[in-house]
Chain A
Amino acid sequence: MTDAQADGRPEGRPANSILTPTRRMKRRKAAEKRFKLYGMIAVTVGILALVFLLTSILGRGLSAFEQTMVEIPVELPAETLDPEGNRDPAEMQRVTTFSYAPLVADALADVIAAEAIEIEGLEPSDLGGFISQEAAAQLRNFVLANPEAVGTTLEAELLAGGRIDGYMKGRVTMETAALDSNVSVEQLRLADALEEAGYLKTSFNWDFITAPDASDQRPEAAGLGVAILGSFYMMIVVLVLALPIGVAASIYLEEFAPKNRLTDIIEVNISNLAAVPSIVFGILGLAIFINFMGLPQSAPIVGGLVLTLMTLPTIIIATRAALKAVPPSIRDAALGVGASKMQSVFHHVLPLAMPGILTGTIIGLAQALGETAPLLLIGMVAFVREYPDAPPEGFFDPASALPVQVYNWTQRADPAFVERASGAIIVLLVFLVLMNTVAVILRRRLERRW
C-alpha cells in the first residue's frame, strides 16, 4: 500500500525523513530483535545445561582422583610368608592373600596400641574392614617382587577401605554409617583418631588411571587402566582401518565413479548407514566377527572393527563434503595444464579437502570413543583385570573400554562406584576435548598455509 502511494502521489507522502523510522521499518526492526532474543535464549539454555552437567559430573567425580591411604609399619614375619626359609618366590607363591590379611590387621592393632588410641566399642573385627581387602593382595605382590623384604618391617602405604575413604571425602557420615552394615561408627572414630595421629593421608590417585578394575567389594581399588588401554587399542584399529578406507571410498565415489543408478543407490545407502543405531552394528559385529570369523570376545580388535563399521559413514560423508567444497576451477586448472585425473585429485583437490577430512575423521573417532551399546554386545562389558599385551597381540586380548567401564560401574551396588563412574566420565571427556583440540589445531595448521 505504501508502494502504491509512493508511485501514485509522491508529494502526498509525509516528509520522508531518515531520522524517523517508518512503520514498516519499525516492524522489521522488532522482528529482528525478537529473533535475536530467541537465539540468545536458546544459547543461554544450552550453556546452562552444559554448566549444570559439568558441575554435577565434576562435583561427583573429581574425588575419584584422590585416595585415602593408611601409612603404617607392617611386619613381614618370615615364618608365615616363607615357611621354607629360602626366599624362593616360587615357594612363596603358595602363601595366599588370606595369610597376608591378618598381618595388615595386626599392624593396625599395633599402631592403635602404640598411639594409645581408645575407642569405645571398637571390635577386633572392625580392624579388618578398616583397610581395603586389596591391601593384602598389594602386600603380597610387593613381597613376591622383593623377597628380601621378608623378615623386616615395611613402612607400608595401604589403601583405606572404601567407606573410610568415603568418610574422609565427606560422602560417608556418622549418621549414614550407623545405618550401614559395611561400616561402623567406631571405625569412623578410629579414622578420625588415626588422621589426628598422622597415619591417614590423602594423595593423588594414580591408580585410578592406571590400575585395572576391581571387584564389587573393593571400589577403592578400581581403576581405568584396562579400559583406557582397550579404548586406545580400539581407536588405533578404527583410525588405521576407517581413515584409509573411508577416504579412498570417498575419492572414488566423488571423483572417479560414473554418476549412474548404482552409485546413486550406494550414496543413499551410505547416508542411511550413518543413521543406523549403533547397537545394530554391535549385533552385526557379533554375528560376523565373533560367530562367523571366530575372533575372540571382549577383544579390542572386534570392538575396533565394529566401531570402524560405525565410523565409516561419518568419515565418508565428511570427506565427500570436503571434496565437493573444493572449487571445480581448481580441477579444471589442473586438467588444463595436462594433469591426469589422479594427479589433479592427489596434487590439488585432496590437500585442499584435508582440513575437512581430518575434522570429519576426528569427529568420527570421538563418536567411536564414546560408543557403548555395540561394545556391550561383543562382550567388552566383561570384568577384565589383566592388561592386554602390547600390540599387535594385545588387540586379541580381552579388554574393557572407557564408556563400557562407566556403564559397568553405574550398575554396581556400592555408592563408591558412583564416584568412580563420574571420575571415568571426566577421563572420557578429557580425551574427547583433547581430540577436538587436535582437530582444531590440525585444521588451523592446514588452512593457514594460504
Chain B
Amino acid sequence: MKDERLTERSVDMKDIKIAARGVQVYYGDTHAIKDVDVEIQDKTVTAFIGPSGCGKSTFLRCLNRMNDTIDSARVEGDIRLDGEDIYDPRVDPVQLRARVGMVFQKPNPFPKSIYDNVAYGPKIHGMARNKADLDDIVERALRRAALWDEAKDRLQAPGTGLSGGQQQRLCIARAVATEPEVLLMDEPCSALDPIATDQVENLIHELRQNYSVVIVTHSMQQAARVSQKTAFFHLGHLVEYGETGQIFTNPRDTRTESYITGRIG
C-alpha cells in the first residue's frame, strides 16, 4: 500500500487525498453545512478558516465520520478518501478513523500514563508484535510530536499531569502513533500559549512530509504560517478555496476580504 503511494507520488506530487462533493450537514433542522465541494491534497496542509459557528468543525468531523456519534447530525453528499466513498454502507467508521486521525480543540489525553496514551492506538490496531516494537512506536510518535525530550523520563506518569501545551502534543503523538494518512486538527492551538503554539506549528510542518493535514484555525496568521491551501467558510458555505498566498493577498470574494481584513468574524 505504501509502495503504491510512493509510485503514485512520483507521477503526480499533488494527488487528491480527499474529495468532497455536494456535502450537506444537518443538525436536526439546522442546516450547518451547505453544499460544500472541496478537494484536499496529499502531503499538504489545508487550513479551514472562518468566523465562529460557520461550520468548520462540523465539516472537519465529516471527514472521519466523527459526526456519526452525534445523534441529530445527518450528512449528505459524497466524500471520497483515495476515491472510495467513506459514507458507503460497507465502510466501518472505525477502520476509516485509523486512516484519518484527529486532534481535538481541547487537549483530551486519556487518564492513563503518557506511554499508554500513545500506545493505545497501535495496541488496538495490532501494530506492534511485541513490547520492544511498541516501545519503538511510542518513542517515534513522541519524537515527532516534539515531546520526547520532556517525556522520556516520565513515560509512566499520568498524561493528564502535563501542561496544556504538552497535553496537546501528547494528543498529536497519540494521533500520529497509528500512522494515519490524513490528520484532522480542530483548532489545536486555541488552548495553548505562544511557545507551545510555535512547537505545534513546527510539528505541522514536519507532519506534512508524510501526511495530509487539515487544520481548523481561528488565527489567520496561523493559517498563513502553516498552510499551503486555505478554505474560507461562512455561514455554512465554502466561500473560497485556493492557495493560501492568493487567499490572503488577493481574495476573490468580498466576504473573504472582509474577514481577513477583520471586518467580519
B109 touching A336, Cβ below 8 Å: no
Task: Select from chain A the residue with minimum beta-carbon distance to B125.
Answer: A338
Minimum CB–CB distance from B41 to chain A (whole Å) comes to 22
A329 touching B106, Cβ below 8 Å: yes
B-chain residues with CB within 8 Å of residue A258 when the two chains form the complex:
71
Residue pairs across A and B with CB atoms within 8 Å: the count is: 69
Task: Select from chain A the residue with minimum beta-carbon distance to B93.
Answer: A335
- Give CA–CA (A343, B110) in the complex, Å: 13
A333 touching B97, Cβ below 8 Å: no
- Give CA–CA (A339, B66) in the complex, Å: 12
- Give CA–CA (A258, B72) in the complex, Å: 11
- Give CA–CA (A343, B98) in the complex, Å: 14
B-chain residues with CB within 8 Å of residue A449 when the two chains form the complex:
111
- Give CA–CA (A90, B106) in the complex, Å: 81
Of residues 177 through 223 on chain A, the ones whose CB sits less than 8 Å from some CB of chain B are none
- Give CA–CA (A92, B106) in the complex, Å: 83
Of residues 411 through 450 on chain A, the ones whose CB sits less than 8 Å from some CB of chain B are 449-450
Minimum CB–CB distance from A346 to chain B (whole Å) comes to 11
Of residues 327 through 377 on chain A, the ones whose CB sits less than 8 Å from some CB of chain B are 327, 329-340, 343, 347-348, 352
Contact with A along B56-94 (1 / 0, CB 8 A): 000000001010010100000000000000000000001
Q: Which of B170-178, B194-202, B227-235 contacts A (4 or more CB under 8 A)?
A: B170-178
A450 touching B111, Cβ below 8 Å: yes
A338 touching B97, Cβ below 8 Å: yes
A-chain residues with CB within 8 Å of residue B101 when the two chains form the complex:
336-338
- Give CA–CA (A338, B178) in the complex, Å: 9
Q: A261 near B: Cβ within 8 Å? A: no
Minimum CB–CB distance from B54 to chain A (whole Å) comes to 21
B110 touching A333, Cβ below 8 Å: yes
A339 touching B108, Cβ below 8 Å: no
Q: A259 near B: Cβ within 8 Å? A: yes
Minimum CB–CB distance from A170 to chain B (whole Å) comes to 58
A352 touching B120, Cβ below 8 Å: no
B108 touching A333, Cβ below 8 Å: yes
Q: B95 near A: Cβ within 8 Å? A: yes
- Give CA–CA (A327, B69) in the complex, Å: 14
B110 touching A259, Cβ below 8 Å: no
B-chain residues with CB within 8 Å of residue A329 when the two chains form the complex:
104, 106, 108
- Give CA–CA (A67, B160) in the complex, Å: 58
B94 touching A340, Cβ below 8 Å: yes
Return the contact of B120 from the options A340, A347, A450 (Cβ within 8 A). A347
- Give CA–CA (A330, B69) in the complex, Å: 13
Q: B158 near A: Cβ within 8 Å? A: yes
Which among B71, B95, B111, B158 has the highest number of chain A CB atoms within 10 Å?
B111
Task: Select from chain B the residue with minimum beta-carbon distance to A339.
Answer: B124
A332-B108 contact in complex given A259-B71, A337-B101, A338-B97, C-beta closer than 8 Å: yes
Return the contact of A339 from the options B64, B71, B94, B171 (Cβ within 8 A). B94
B-chain residues with CB within 8 Å of residue A330 when the two chains form the complex:
108, 110-111
Contact with A along B19-52 (1 / 0, CB 8 A): 0000000000000000000000000000000000
Task: Select from chain B the residue with minimum beta-carbon distance to A332.
Answer: B104
Task: Select from chain A the residue with minimum beta-carbon distance to B161.
Answer: A450
- Give CA–CA (A258, B70) in the complex, Å: 11
A-chain residues with CB within 8 Å of residue B121 when the two chains form the complex:
337-339
B-chain residues with CB within 8 Å of residue A352 when the two chains form the complex:
111
Q: B102 near A: Cβ within 8 Å? A: yes
A-chain residues with CB within 8 Å of residue B64 when the two chains form the complex:
336
- Give CA–CA (A331, B110) in the complex, Å: 9
- Give CA–CA (A336, B175) in the complex, Å: 8
Which among B95, B106, B124, B178 has the highest number of chain A CB atoms within 10 Å?
B124
Minimum CB–CB distance from A329 to chain B (whole Å) comes to 4
In the complex, how many residues of chain A place their beta carbon closer than 8 angstroms to a beta carbon of chain B? Answer: 21
Minimum CB–CB distance from B100 to chain A (whole Å) comes to 9
A348-B110 contact in complex given A333-B171, A336-B101, C-beta closer than 8 Å: yes
- Give CA–CA (A339, B110) in the complex, Å: 13
Minimum CB–CB distance from B264 to chain A (whole Å) comes to 30
Return the contact of A338 from the options B71, B110, B124, B171 (Cβ within 8 A). B124
- Give CA–CA (A327, B110) in the complex, Å: 11
- Give CA–CA (A332, B178) in the complex, Å: 16
- Give CA–CA (A327, B158) in the complex, Å: 17
Of residues 317 through 335 on chain A, the ones whose CB sits less than 8 Å from some CB of chain B are 327, 329-335
- Give CA–CA (A336, B102) in the complex, Å: 5
B108 touching A338, Cβ below 8 Å: no
Minimum CB–CB distance from A263 to chain B (whole Å) comes to 11
- Give CA–CA (A346, B64) in the complex, Å: 22
Task: Select from chain A the residue with minimum beta-carbon distance to B111.
Answer: A450
Return the contact of A336 from the options B66, B158, B160 (Cβ within 8 A). B66
- Give CA–CA (A348, B110) in the complex, Å: 7
A337-B175 contact in complex given A259-B71, A332-B108, A352-B111, C-beta closer than 8 Å: yes
A336 touching B110, Cβ below 8 Å: no
Minimum CB–CB distance from A322 to chain B (whole Å) comes to 14
A-chain residues with CB within 8 Å of residue B104 when the two chains form the complex:
329, 332-333, 336
- Give CA–CA (A113, B217) in the complex, Å: 105
A-chain residues with CB within 8 Å of residue B120 when the two chains form the complex:
334, 337, 339, 347
- Give CA–CA (A347, B158) in the complex, Å: 16
- Give CA–CA (A329, B102) in the complex, Å: 12
- Give CA–CA (A330, B108) in the complex, Å: 6
A338-B69 contact in complex given A330-B108, A332-B104, A333-B104, C-beta closer than 8 Å: no
- Give CA–CA (A449, B156) in the complex, Å: 12
- Give CA–CA (A108, B174) in the complex, Å: 84
Return the contact of B97 from the options A327, A335, A347, A450 (Cβ within 8 A). A335
A-chain residues with CB within 8 Å of residue B125 when the two chains form the complex:
338
B98 touching A331, Cβ below 8 Å: no
Minimum CB–CB distance from B134 to chain A (whole Å) comes to 14
Task: Select from chain A the residue with minimum beta-carbon distance to B61.
Answer: A332
B69 touching A332, Cβ below 8 Å: yes
Task: Select from chain B the residue with minimum beta-carbon distance to A331.
Answer: B69
- Give CA–CA (A57, B234) in the complex, Å: 72
Minimum CB–CB distance from B48 to chain A (whole Å) comes to 17
Task: Select from chain B the residue with minimum beta-carbon distance to A326.
Answer: B111
Can you name 7 A-B residue pairings with CB atoms under 8 Å?
A332-B66, A332-B102, A337-B101, A338-B95, A338-B97, A340-B94, A348-B110
Closest 4 CB pairs of A and B: A338-B98, A337-B121, A329-B108, A336-B102
